[in-house]
Amino acid sequence: MAFEFTDANFQEVALDKEGVAVVDFWAEWCGPCKMIGPVIEELATDFDGKVTVGKMNVDSNKDIPMKYGVRSIPTILILKNGEIVDKHVGVTSKQALADKINAHL
């Protein structure tokens, strides 16, 4: 199951932790977000133990999306050792995201 990122845990889980983290910024009312949701869940399972894959609801978490300039959703950030190494806005395929993640492992 995909990890639930929040404003409160983002620093500890995505920025301070070594390794790769994938953050899907989404909202309940967003159609494209609902399309990519199952892909994020599958990636969380596929990369379990290697990558922290999760979602952040932009309606209940305002600080982190604002800090990273998230204006359109879904926005997917890939971070490595706390630094943004890739970004994707909009819907994409599971394979395209997996390739981006693998490039940073």
Domains of the chain: 3-102 (3.40.30.10)
pLDDT at 85: 98
d(CA 82, CA 19): 8
Angle between helices 94-102 and 31-46 (to 10 degrees): 50
Backbone phi, psi, residue 45, to 5°: -70, -45
- Residue 94 binned pLDDT confidence (cut-offs 50, 70, 90): very high
Read off the pLDDT of residues 7-64 as tens digits, 9 standing for 90 and up: 999 999 999 999 999 999 999 999 999 999 999 999 999 999 999 999 999 999 999 9
Residue numbers annotated as active site: 30, 33
Separation of alpha carbons 25 and 30, rounded Å: 11
pLDDT of res. 22: 98
**pLDDT for the residue 37:** 97
Helix-then-strand count for the chain, H and E: 4, 5
State the DSSP H helix or E strand holding residue 32, giving kind and residue range, or none if neither.
helix 31-46
pTM to 2 decimal places: 0.97
